[in-house]
Homo-oligomer: A and B are copies of this chain.
């Protein structure tokens, strides 16, 4: 597994370099499901690049990835879960606050996760048998404090409608943030800067964070406190297990 992990880190760094090299070119922005659901030529190119490299080294592995229709079930065999550019709207409009994410599973067991915040240069890697780190520095295990001392994050739509009580939770906490990217928000949870991140997410949005967070005391759950399915789009939250009940007391009540 160490070789596979080293290989994964290398190709994600290469994907970051590829983005840096090409992000000033015409991005060929297109709309997917809605006027604000963007995809660029680079999302597709970076995904192709990652899959090509993995496939030529590990031809029997399969893929679950954001662009196109690769949807391997995470529970069976050796599966790579890939989000080539998470936070595409930030990428297009800001040129920052986006990340490359890769997660690797064997028969449903997360072996490692990688989140690469390309512009900040923060490279989160580990989980499974590997210590979760940012830029080779160990990430801090979750440390309990009063809810009032933590910031929380979610998506703006949920905040507007107080869906699942996100606004109530934020008002009981120190405040609510909206970064417009799962990877950037999860990275802030993993580094102890946010208590939780709550949003509607696909497997490639949360796979890497869920593997990275496990030994630090975090879990990615549905908003009802159940296991995520790694298959459909679900309302999802990453929470420290130690404060899960307190968080759910704001969230779950609204169901």
Q: List the interface of chain A (C-beta within 8 A of B).
A: 35-36, 38, 89-90, 92-96, 120, 148-151, 156, 159-160, 162, 167, 170, 174-180, 188, 193-194
Copies per complex of this chain:
2
Chain B residues in 8 Å Cβ range of A35: 148
Chain B residues in 8 Å Cβ range of A175: 36, 89, 156, 180
Known contacts A36-B174, A175-B36: A193-B93 contact under CB 8 Å: yes
Does B193 contact A150, Cβ atoms closer than 8 Å? no
Does A170 contact B156, Cβ atoms closer than 8 Å? yes
Bound-state Cα–Cα, A36 to B179, Å: 20
Chain B residues in 8 Å Cβ range of A156: 159, 167, 170, 175-178
Bound-state Cα–Cα, A159 to B94, Å: 21
Bound-state Cα–Cα, A95 to B177, Å: 15
Chain B residues in 8 Å Cβ range of A176: 156, 178
Q: A89, A149, A175 — which one has the most chain B CB atoms within 10 A of its CB?
A: A175
Chain B residues in 8 Å Cβ range of A92: 149, 174
Bound-state Cα–Cα, A38 to B175, Å: 11
* Sample of 8 A–B contacts (CB below 8 Å): A36-B148, A36-B174, A92-B149, A94-B151, A120-B120, A156-B176, A175-B180, A177-B178
Does A94 contact B160, Cβ atoms closer than 8 Å? no
Does B95 contact A193, Cβ atoms closer than 8 Å? yes
How far is the CB of A108 from the nearest CB of chain B, in Å? 33
Does B180 contact A179, Cβ atoms closer than 8 Å? no
Chain B residues in 8 Å Cβ range of A159: 156, 159-160, 178
Does A93 contact B180, Cβ atoms closer than 8 Å? no
Chain B residues in 8 Å Cβ range of A93: 149-151, 174, 193
Bound-state Cα–Cα, A120 to B97, Å: 12
Chain B residues in 8 Å Cβ range of A90: 151
